[in-house]
Structure 1
Amino acid sequence: MNTIWLNVGEASADIYGSLLIRELLSKDPRLNIIGMGGPSMREAGLKAIIKAEDLSVMGLTEVVGALPKILGFLKKIKRELERQRPKVLVLFDAPDFNFRLAKMAKKLGIPVIYYIAPQVWAWRKNRIKFLKRFVDRILCIFPFEQSFFAQHGIKTVYIGHPLLQVMDLKKLNQITPDPNKIVILPGSRVKEIKALLPVFADSCQILKQKKPELTFSIVKAPHINMDLLRTYWPKSLPVTIHPPKERHRVIAQSCLALAASGTVTLECALLKVPTIAAYKLSWLSYLVGRLLVDVPFISMPNLILNQKIFPEYIQDQANPDKIAAKALSWQEDDTQRQKIRSGLTKIQQILGQNQATQVAARAVMEYV
């Protein structure tokens, strides 16, 4: 039996992993697909050695607190790699964890493919040497990634972005946004929600005072507890909380979004929803990040277009008054919103055709 190990540590990558599993099993139903993944991957057929949601940490200080658990996971994975000897190891993002697996695989003679590569073009460029030594092939989801890695002599395949296969853009783009509906997307990690949801809630209270007709929706991320969201949202402010499967529909129905910087900002961009992006870390993580980050923006739509089409509020700039003021200016000026929507039309063209998963599966099967 041919075994493939997939390793995912992020909620968004769990969806892409599930698409890849289904595509691989369609090519060979006898494949034994094991590793670390979330609920979508397990539903698609992953035999999970570890659940991805058990590794939901962010930032330097947060990782330090979870270190004993992380070390336990790594020890368990090493035992399984030695025992099961997969034909190939496919890593998704999460470099601080997955780089250790790449090292293990190299020692065991197991080829390594990186799908959703670490953003070394943005920060910690010294990691290029590691990728060149321990990774056999990188599957690039952004066009500029391929040229960057190729310049450093790393074998790459450009596959396009799998998000285009997750979203039914033709159907979603037919939805007419409600001019009074604002969607809140506070992140997929507990730490993100604790840091950002109170800020977004206070912003919405300011907006509600100015414009009572506004309504608010929160989209719950997979494996996030509903009680957690309600804890950080005031009882006096009405809100509708939607399950993860309704995410794209709810975003498309909204006139604007308040979002944690991450994959969801790209989803908003593809749906042409004006979005205010925010992010907060512990101060130590933020100070370290400032020394290492080498890009002008934190939101992927801004990086793809090389312009600040979505405003970004980081650390102390992510405060209710500033976010509410920007949202209010958009609410009162439809011309601004239309200008943003027009600017976002280029993103789908840049991200390529809806073939990412098929191309990725072919690359993986070469090693099987």
Structure 2
Amino acid sequence: MAPRRILLSVGDESGDLHAANLMRAIRAQAPEAEFAGFGMARMAEAGLEPLAEEGAADGDMWLRNVLRLGRYRRRLAACCRYLDRRKPDLVVPVDFGGFNLCLCRAAAERGIAVFYYIPPQAWAHGEYRLKKLRKWISRAGLIYPFEEPLYRRRGVPAEYVGHPLFDELDRRPPSQQVVEGLRDGFGDMLVGVFPGSRRQEVRAHVPVMAEAARRIRRNVPQAAFAAVCTPGLGETVRELVSRAGGGVEVLDGVRPVELARASRLCLTKSGTITLEIASQLTPMVVYYRAGGLVAFLAYGLSSSPHVGLINVLAGRVVCPELATVAARPGWIAEQACRLLTEEGAWQACCRGMRQATDGFAVPGASERAARCALSLL
């Protein structure tokens, strides 16, 4: 059988991970598949032929991306050259809506099938993009069950395949040795701190979370605090914690899921990390602080009443959440102390997470997405 050429495009580390797992799942079902495009280390390990060297693009930080328009134009030009010269059988954009929508259009204009894996979150603040998706893609692979009815109503061919996070957790479950080591070292009132995966996020969240930790310790003296962050940001987080007066230990060599499992409670920014924490049934306080314009665009225009994905899944507030422009350490501390000291509140949070993730936090998304993609060939 002739090789199946597939062009992929991602914009950050998360997309790189999910795309790499998708590539492996496609190759397991179609060994003749060949992959080219824009990715990072994990996709290269999975067999990607890079069109150029790329780093993470901070895909959700639109203001920063405005300054990178030249880079994205060059990237799109390289994709178009590949589409014209190599004529791939399928284009697979993964997440990274701003750039990948342009790639969808370029592929559609050339009559090439498009499987958009993890398309823009129209359910949150991008329903206008559904008109473009309807014109430019062959099918979308959706990662949340509540997305499918919305896409279908708008005439966008789509299929719910599941969340790839749980494929990775199935492939690399938390180390029980690490979890037990954390519990032995910090005790049974460990509070995990998850300030974000990008530098601007940790700068916004660490000072507030460190001050919240100080206030929590006044009321719950046995509480201990530990943070994990993206590789390369450890020193930034340590410096910010130090400036705020200390009290939060920054861990190396510990995965977020391991800290979540070892913790009694987590303080976390919003985003996919809330699902990773919820998969361990650890109650959390969800907090997101952004600049005025960014906060307005991200949440003021949102069609969802919730900030945390676990609450979006549940359709109600299971875990306390707040998106704000102002620093609110007092609010974080108040919610955290309630969950740490009131067993009923802690148990209710656990029950809500269990109900919200039942049937959702299961592996197999990459295999289902691969079948969906290959059905277009």
Q: TM-score, normalised by structure 1?
A: 0.89
Residue in 1 aligned with 2:44?
A: 42
CA apart distance, 1:242: 3.3
Residue 228 of structure 1 is aligned with which of 231, 236, 245? 236
Q: What residue is the counterpart of 1:361 in the other structure? A: 370
Match of 2:158 in 1: 156
- Counting only pairs closer than 5 Å after superposition, residues 104-253 of structure 1 correspond to structure 2 as 104-168=106-170, 179-221=188-230, 223-234=231-242, 236-243=246-253, 246-253=255-262
Query: Aligned partner of 1:297: which letter?
Result: H
Q: SS state of the match for residue 143, structure 1?
A: coil
SS across alignment from 1:182: strand
Alpha-carbon deviations, 1:163-213, whole Å to 9, x = none?
222224997698787531111112222221221122212222322344443
Deviates more, 1:189-198 or 1:6-15: 6-15
Q: Which residue of 2 aligns with 1:304?
A: 313
CA distance in 2, matches of 1:52, 1:186: 25
Instruction: State the shift of 1:20 in Å.
Output: 0.9
- Between the aligned partners of 2:171 and 2:10, the Cα distance in structure 1 is 25
Aligned CA distance change for structure 1 residues 215 and 291 (closer, same or farther; 3 Å): closer
- Asked if structure 2 preserves the Cα contact closer than 8 Å seen for 1:20 and 1:360, the reply is yes
Structure 1 pair 147–183 and aligned structure 2 pair: CA distance change class (3 A): same
Q: CA deviation at 1:254?
A: 0.6
Q: Which amino acid aligns with 1:363?
A: C
Contact kept in structure 2, 1:274 and 1:337, CA below 8 Å? yes
- Give distance in 2, aligned partners of 1:182 and 1:75: 47
Distance 1:168 1:29, change over 3 A: closer
Query: How far, CA to CA, are the matches of 2:82 and 2:201 in structure 1?
Result: 32
Aligned amino acid, residue 300 of structure 1: L
Residues 232-262 of structure 1: CA distance to partner in whole angstroms, max 9, x if unpaired?
A: 2217335032346x22122111111111111
SS in 1 for 2:123: coil
Return the letter of the residue paired with 2:338.
Answer: S
Q: 1:300 offset after TM fit, Å?
A: 1.2
Bigger Cα displacement from structure 2, 96-105 vs 175-184 = 175-184
Choose which of 72, 95, 98 in structure 2 pairs with 1:96: 98
Higher mean displacement: 188-197 or 202-211? 202-211
Return closer, same or farther for 1:213/1:47 CA change in 2, 3 Å cut-off: farther
Q: Secondary structure at the match of 1:262?
A: coil
SS in 1 for 2:127: coil
Amino acid at match of 1:2: R
State the identity as a percent.
Answer: 27
CA distance in 1, matches of 2:239, 2:43: 29
Q: TM-score, normalised by structure 2?
A: 0.87
Farther-moved stretch of structure 1 (301-310 vs 27-36): 27-36
Letter aligned with residue 241 of structure 1: L
